[in-house]
Every structure is written in structure tokens, then in C-alpha cells.
Amino acid sequence: MFEAPREPQDFGKTLDTGFRLFGAGWKGGMLIALYAIVALGIIGGAGVATFIPMMDRVDEAFGFAIGMGLILGLLAILIWTIAMNSLIAWFGAIYRGAPLRVNDAIRIGMNKLFPVFGWYILFFLLLAGVLLPGGIIFTIGIATQEPLTIALTSFLGGIAMLIPYLFVAVMFVFGPYLIVMDDSRVTESFGESRRLVWGNWWRTFGYGAVVMLLLWVISFILSLPLAIVSIVFTFSGEMAGSLITDLLNQLISLLVYPLSVSMTLSYMFDMQLRRSGLDLAARLA
């Protein structure tokens, strides 16, 4: 039985809470992930079945391939968003002591599809704005066609893009979580996420880096066997087999997302406790 913390925790205990939250709801979380894998597998299979016959006549079917790619890509994004929303609802309900059925979590995930999708659109527009100066620097260097200038502007442009990207990505990381868990409106979620992270940006960045490293290791272990098979297919010239194993590899990597969501929720709820004043109360006690 999962018991949520009643006061803010240190870095290590917040990670431990994320693991305990995952342990309390891993069955339902994995079931939601498997639903997403099946749905995305169908879409991926449709893509492979569509594009493999076109490989020998790319020029004739280029427009059709682009159209199909856009449609299948959009469907994949929508399914992935529903799955993530469902995982947030599932683990968030367990954290708050009001567990849901998997079907109810998926229903909430579907209901929050368009608000969260709208958040993604605004977020990527914001990213495009903050990355623009770095992109301009990079483009100017390419236009000169001078190797030394290209190297210098590539470095400066990369720094000018990386720093704003990290700042924005960390500052607004809780947006979709707030929309699903707290019924925040799209624009409100940006402000609330900033409020939670502001003053704790480095702590949030460090927590996210640890979680991402952990997930990368787990994902690498899960995908290594299929990656080896894909390499064998590639060197033997079996492109269809390589594409299929690559697809399966990507789908299997989705199994790490339930843990990712539980770890992020653990940190977000901890920050909410801190911002509610319980952090100060705990220090004075």
C-alpha cells in the first residue's frame, strides 16, 4: 500500500518515493504501456507495409508517401499523448490515495488529449522562439562557406540553442502533469510549472538528469537484443527485417515510461508541498 509523504523530502527520498509509487501501480502502468505498444505497433506496421513496396519507385509515389507519413505520424503522436495522460492519471491517483481502474485512467487520458496536445503546440512554439537566435547564428556561418567561420558559428549557435532549450524544458516540464492532475488550463499550466520550478531550477535539472540516466540504462538493457538483430539484418541486406526490428525496439522502449511518469510525479508533488509552505513548517518543527 503506497503512502504519500506528508512533508517535503530530500533528493534521495524523492527518488525513493518515485520507485515506491511505481511499485504500487506497475501492473496497471505496464498494461497502459502495452496498450500503447499494440496501437503504435499497428500504425508502425501500416507504415512498413505502405512504404516497403514504394522503395523501388520513390519518385512515382513521393507525394502519397509524404501524406501517409504525416497521417500516421499524427496518429502516433495522439496515441502517445493519450498513453502518457493515462499514466499520469493512473499514478497520480495512487499518489493521492484514490486509485483508479485502468479503464478510468485511459478515459481521463482521452479527455485530456486536446488540452495537452494544445500545450505541446504552445510549448514547441515557445521553443522555436528561444532557439531562433542560435539558429540564425548557425545559418550565418553556413552562408559564409568558410570552414573556420562555420566551425565557430556552429559552436556558438549550438551553445545559444542548448542553454535556452534546457532552461525552457526544465522550467515548464510539469505542464501536462498539471493539466491532467489539477485540471489546469493550458496557459495556467505554464505559469504554475514556472512557479514550482522557479528557485529550484538546478535541483529540478539534477533530478531530471538522474532519472533520464536511469531510464536510459533500463531502456538500453531492454532494447539491446533487438538492436543486435537489427544490425545483423542491416549487414545482410534484409531492409524489411531491419525496419521491423527497429520498430519493435522503439515500441519496447515505451516500457520505461511508467517509471518515468511515477518519478516525475513524485518530484512534482514534492515541489507542491514545498510551495504550500510545508517545507518551512518542517524546518521550524
Model confidence over 22-45: pLDDT tens digits? Answer: 999 999 999 998 888 888 878 877
Residue 2 covered by a domain? no
241: exposed, middle or buried (Cβ count in 10 Å: 0-12, 13-18, 19+): middle
Q: What's the total number of domains in the chain?
A: 1
Residue in 112, 98, 108, 106 with CA at minimum distance from that of residue 24: 98
Q: How many Å apart are CA 6 and CA 9, to the nearest integer?
A: 9
Q: What is the rounded average pLDDT for all residues in the chain?
A: 84
Residue 33 covered by a domain? yes
Over residues 92-114, the mean pLDDT reads: 95
Residue 150 covered by a domain? yes
Q: Which residues contact 267 (CB under 8 A, 6 or more apart)?
A: 14, 18, 204, 207
Residue 207 covered by a domain? yes
Containing domain of residue 242, as a range? 11-284
Model confidence over 259-284: pLDDT tens digits? Answer: 999 999 999 999 999 888 655 444 43
Residue 3 covered by a domain? no
pLDDT at 187 over 50: yes
What does the chain come to in residues?
A: 285
Residue 216 covered by a domain? yes
Model confidence over 221-253: pLDDT tens digits? Answer: 777 666 666 665 565 655 555 556 665 666 666
- pLDDT attached to residue 282: 44
Distances in Å between the Cα of 211 and the Cα atoms of 18, 22, 257 are 10, 13, 11
Residue 87 covered by a domain? yes
Residue 136 covered by a domain? yes
Predicted model pTM: 0.84
pLDDT class of 119 with cuts at 50, 70, 90: very high
Q: What is the DSSP letter of 254?
A: G
